[in-house]
Amino acid sequence: MSTFEPRLYQQTILGTATLHNTLVVLPTGMGKTHIAMMLAQHRLKQYPQSKILMLAPTKPLVDQHADTFAKYLPDAQSLSTVLTGKIAPEKRKQEFDRASFIFSTPQTIENDLLGARISLADVSLLIIDEAHRATGDYAYVYIAKQYQKQALRERILSLTASPGSDKESIQEIIDNCAIEKLEVKSYDDPDVAPYVQDIEVKYDEVTLPLELVELKKVLERVIQNRLSQVKANNHIKDIFLNKSQLLGAQRELQAEIRSGQPDPLVWRSISILAEVMKAQHALELLETQGVDALVTYCDNMQRQAAKGQSKAVTNLMSDPDVRHVMLKAQALSERGFEHPKLPKLLSIIKLELTKNPDAKIIVFNQYRDQALTIVSALKGKARLFVGQQKKGGTGLSQKEQKELLREFRHGAFPVLVATSVGEEGLDIPAVDLVLFYEPVPSAIRTIQRRGRTGRQETGRVTILITKGTRDEGYRWSAHHKEQRMYRTLKNLASTITPAAPKNQTLLDDFEKEEELTIMADTREKGAHVLKELQDLGVNLVLKALPVGDYVLSKRVCVEFKTSEDFVNSLLDGRLLSQLRDLKQYQRPLLVVEGTNWYAQRNVHPNAIRGAFSAISVSFGIPILVTQNAKDTAALLHIIAKREKDGGIDQAVVGISRGSSLQEELLGVVAALPNVGPVLAPKLLARFGSLKGLINASVDDLKQVEGVGKKKAEELHAVFSRRFEE
């Protein structure tokens, strides 16, 4: 076992983390894992019978953390376990119960929590590595929430080099991980600086050749012509939009479709914007990667167009300008024409290896096809490091990833060409040079890429930039976001509000329901509904169901679809066979989540309406529509409760004959337009009574979580409408 001598800043951070749930923001290579290791040792001394759970997003990174703990902590190796989805669930349970140190990917722990195979009650420390992922629906969020509910001795340590550049993103991580204190260190801090090796960052510019400039102008014309059409439809105000603005415009139009009966021009604009996004991606490949990447992308779109898979792709590929670009790019590729970045990259690597034959170099490229081209051009000096997703036969299993890193570390080859999978957690000391084939606009990814060098000696980073292209914008975008990140973190560190005490009564818990049991299929589409059911106190039994997705009672079985899956299963024929099987139950139900059926795959609305009528009339299966996972879970919960209470004698709006006044009020409010069972208790809790709700103004209604301006106005209109005989 090796010895570890903590640095001053690590001891300072440890002091905070022993007392508070802490988010540690520390540059890559500055020993975040060692801080976690010291805190783990401290917690086990405090609570000898407890467990330490450390999560990381990839299996190689999980193994790396387990090896670090085993290297420095006594008994860590014999008392540790590494859990993955490839281990049988029952075996995972045994290992979790046995071990004191548990290292795992978050998805594995999430699945075991949903299946009630494990409990976090005895975990005295939850370590969340790469904590910038703790947003949205990522498994970290659910695990942290369950940990706060279950743990007897709660302590959370979240680690990242870069949590994000804006206050909202950072605050989301703070909220999701129940953070009470921030520890933020940069290379410039006095207690960190003595341990930092200088990193020389160089921007190497190339000029886009005239052949590519010509194609660039054609693609820009394609994009602007289409955006002019959308502008003429009054759906955008400008024809010069970046990617995030285009995505925002798409979201607004999709929302208009979901609202009911949109103008037919909305459909046209949505389709045109989809064409623009495709053309924008082609332009980015041309500017930043080269003709080979562009040709591969165009070939894929050509195959999609031939199959009629997408109206947007078919329209785009029939455009004479696009066909000109495709044919010209193919001709350039066939004669060996290269983007100037590639020869520049090869010359940099050749010079580096001439000066130092033992040098280790990492090349980052965010496109797998172009990364393959780089590996091929390096003629045996490089290997490709990519994720597991198979694409063109280039995927690597986690075992293969780990072995490849081991070989690189020991000098089996000098150049590692990595896609984004290489940006997180690579433990490769003494990398001499990091090459960015392109700048990325993300501060998180830029910091992670840069952090692969300068760990033990002076590091060097070279970033290739094509002048006059989006490369220049991405460079400055990442720079400004990184500066903003540190300013935001320092401000938040002084103003952060500790999480509410664990035993505080929450509004959603004011009326605990008796535990229900719902059987759910292990192959159910995503875990969102399962998580919401668990939050409602449902006892979930996960198993492979021969029919349906949820069994709510002996007679009620539910086939669950998102609106997208509903349309897809209708087109490929799965839906009819699934519904026939569902008829084995006395009360079969189809639950469809989401209302944007008409925005899926250009299916005519009459086809969707015909399917609904056939399902409800011909099959005799009721169709229930929900807004989101929370709404779906609430509906399933109510149906299961009705079944448990007898079911048949319940009133239509959900008020039983023996209901309490509270239940009757909830039933009445839930029956109001666009309210439902989730929003009803929030409205009553806010206004206290039905009278208070009815007398509420639009502004008062908007103060309730889940009530926007439109919904508030609709409710107010219902309360004010006169009855006419």
How far apart CA 585 and CA 519 sit, in angstroms, is 14
How far apart CA 218 and CA 99 sit, in angstroms, is 61
Based on the fold, state whether residues 439 and 584 are members of the same structural domain. Answer: no
Instruction: Note the pLDDT of residue 330.
Output: 94
Based on the fold, state whether residues 62 and 156 are members of the same structural domain. Answer: yes
Residue 225 predicted with pLDDT over 70:
yes
Based on the fold, state whether residues 74 and 190 are members of the same structural domain. Answer: yes
Mean pLDDT (whole number) for 697-702: 87
- Strand partners for 160: 25
Residue 567 confidence class, pLDDT cut points 50, 70, 90: confident
Asked whether the beta carbons of 619 and 520 are under 8 A apart, the reply is no
Q: Residue 125 sits in a domain of what CATH number? A: 3.40.50.300
Residue 653 confidence class, pLDDT cut points 50, 70, 90: very low
**How far is CA 69 from each of CA 16, 59, 73, rounded to the nearest angstrom?**
21, 16, 6
- Sheet architecture: strand order including 123-128: 80-83, 101-104, 51-55, 123-128, 156-160, 22-25, 181-184
Residue 649 confidence class, pLDDT cut points 50, 70, 90: very low
Residue 315 CA, chain-centre distance (Å), reads 31
Q: Mean pLDDT check: name the lowest of 193-207, 327-341, 361-375.
A: 193-207
**How far is CA 40 from each of CA 57, 95, 102, 131, 184, rounded to the nearest angstrom?**
19, 19, 11, 17, 20
Q: Which residues contact 194 (CB under 8 A, 6 or more apart)?
A: none
Task: Please report whether residue 500 resides in a domain.
Answer: no
Instruction: Note the pLDDT of residue 28.
Output: 77
548 dihedral zone (left: phi>0; alpha: psi -120 to 50; beta): left
Instruction: Note the pLDDT of residue 444.
Output: 73
Asked whether the beta carbons of 532 and 678 are under 8 A apart, the reply is no
Select the more confidently predicted residue: 489 or 146: 146
How far apart CA 269 and CA 232 sit, in angstroms, is 10
Based on the fold, state whether residues 133 and 227 are members of the same structural domain. Answer: no
Select the more confidently predicted residue: 391 or 651: 391
Each residue of 13-67: pLDDT tens digit? 999 999 999 999 988 778 899 999 999 999 999 999 999 999 999 888 898 899 9
Instruction: Report the greatest alpha carbon distance in the chain.
Output: 93
Instruction: Note the pLDDT of residue 600.
Output: 58
Residue 322 predicted with pLDDT over 90:
yes
How far apart CA 57 and CA 688 sit, in angstroms, is 45
How far apart CA 626 and CA 635 sit, in angstroms, is 8
Residue 112 predicted with pLDDT over 60:
yes
Instruction: Please provide the DSSP assignment of 325-358 as one string.
Output: HHHHHHHHHHTT---THHHHHHHHHHHHHHH-TT
Each residue of 393-428: pLDDT tens digit? 567 877 888 888 889 988 999 999 988 776 665 566
Task: Please report whether residue 444 resides in a domain.
Answer: yes
Mean pLDDT (whole number) for 103-120: 92
Tell me which H or E stretch contains 310.
none
Percent of the chain's residues with pLDDT above 90: 43
Asked whether the beta carbons of 430 and 456 are under 8 A apart, the reply is yes
Asked whether the beta carbons of 60 and 401 are under 8 A apart, the reply is yes
How far apart CA 690 and CA 668 sit, in angstroms, is 9
How far apart CA 295 and CA 332 sit, in angstroms, is 10
CB-count burial class (<10 Å; 0-12, 13-18, 19+) for 578: middle
Token representation of residue 534:
């668990």
Residue 381 confidence class, pLDDT cut points 50, 70, 90: very high
Based on the fold, state whether residues 325 and 344 are members of the same structural domain. Answer: no
Asked whether the beta carbons of 708 and 702 are under 8 A apart, the reply is yes
- Strand partners for 364: 418, 436
Instruction: Note the pLDDT of residue 663.
Output: 64
Percent of the chain's residues with pLDDT above 70: 87
Based on the fold, state whether residues 377 and 239 are members of the same structural domain. Answer: no
Based on the fold, state whether residues 164 and 228 are members of the same structural domain. Answer: no
Instruction: Note the pLDDT of residue 507.
Output: 36
Task: Please report whether residue 369 resides in a domain.
Answer: yes
Residue 362 predicted with pLDDT over 80:
yes
Q: Tell me the pTM.
A: 0.70
Domain stops at, among 334, 351, 377: 334
Count of domains for the chain: 4
- What does residue 206 show for φ and ψ, rounded to 5 degrees? -125, 160
Instruction: Note the pLDDT of residue 101.
Output: 96
C-beta atoms surrounding 621 within 10 Å: 18
Select the more confidently predicted residue: 71 or 254: 71
Residue 263 predicted with pLDDT over 60:
yes
Residue 149 predicted with pLDDT over 60:
yes
Residue 179 CA, chain-centre distance (Å), reads 20
How far apart CA 230 and CA 388 sit, in angstroms, is 39
User: Residue 100's closest CA among 45, 31, 20?
Assistant: 45
Domain stops at, among 334, 352, 369: 334
Domain containing 87: what range?
8-195
Domain stops at, among 467, 487, 522: 467
Q: Residue 713 sits in a domain of what CATH number? A: 3.40.50.10130
**How far is CA 137 from each of CA 420, 528, 562, rounded to the nearest angstrom?**
20, 8, 16
Residue 390 predicted with pLDDT over 80:
no
**How far is CA 659 from each of CA 81, 505, 585, 656, 676, rounded to the nearest angstrom?**
50, 24, 28, 5, 18
Residue identified by tokens 């709700």 is 693
Task: Please report whether residue 612 resides in a domain.
Answer: yes
Number of continuous H segments (helices) and E segments (strands) in the chain: 28, 19
CA atoms within a 13 Å half-sphere pointing along the CA-CB vector of 538: 30
Mean pLDDT (whole number) for 471-496: 84
User: Residue 175's closest CA among 144, 200, 149?
Assistant: 144
Select the more confidently predicted residue: 657 or 121: 121
Residue 651 predicted with pLDDT over 50:
no
Residue 511 confidence class, pLDDT cut points 50, 70, 90: very low
Instruction: Note the pLDDT of residue 452.
Output: 63
How far apart CA 184 and CA 189 sit, in angstroms, is 9
Based on the fold, state whether residues 33 and 164 are members of the same structural domain. Answer: yes
Task: Please report whether residue 683 resides in a domain.
Answer: yes
Instruction: Note the pLDDT of residue 564.
Output: 83
Based on the fold, state whether residues 386 and 440 are members of the same structural domain. Answer: yes
How far apart CA 220 and CA 469 sit, in angstroms, is 12
Task: Please report whether residue 478 resides in a domain.
Answer: no
Instruction: Note the pLDDT of residue 674.
Output: 67
- Rg (the chain; Cα; Å): 28
Instruction: Note the pLDDT of residue 514.
Output: 53
Residue 489 predicted with pLDDT over 60:
yes
At how many degrees (to 10) do helices 264-288 and 210-232 cross?
Answer: 160
Provide the 8-state DSSP code for 420: G
Instruction: Please provide the DSSP assignment of 674-687 as one string.
Output: TTHHHHHHHHHHHH
The amino acid that residue 406 corresponds to is R
The amino acid that residue 359 corresponds to is A
Instruction: Note the pLDDT of residue 350.
Output: 95
Task: Please report whether residue 502 resides in a domain.
Answer: no
Residue 503 confidence class, pLDDT cut points 50, 70, 90: very low
Residue 661 predicted with pLDDT over 80:
no
Q: Which residues contact 720 (CB under 8 A, 6 or more apart)?
A: none
Based on the fold, state whether residues 447 and 432 are members of the same structural domain. Answer: yes
Based on the fold, state whether residues 215 and 138 are members of the same structural domain. Answer: no
- Return mean pLDDT, the chain: 84
7 dihedral zone (left: phi>0; alpha: psi -120 to 50; beta): beta
Each residue of 589-605: pLDDT tens digit? 999 998 766 655 556 67
Residue 371 predicted with pLDDT over 80:
yes
Residue 180 CA, chain-centre distance (Å), reads 24
CA atoms within a 13 Å half-sphere pointing along the CA-CB vector of 230: 28
282 three-state secondary structure: helix
Based on the fold, state whether residues 550 and 690 are members of the same structural domain. Answer: yes
The amino acid that residue 136 corresponds to is G
Task: Please report whether residue 495 resides in a domain.
Answer: no
Mean pLDDT (whole number) for 558-562: 92
Instruction: Note the pLDDT of residue 512.
Output: 42
434 three-state secondary structure: strand
Instruction: Note the pLDDT of residue 82.
Output: 95
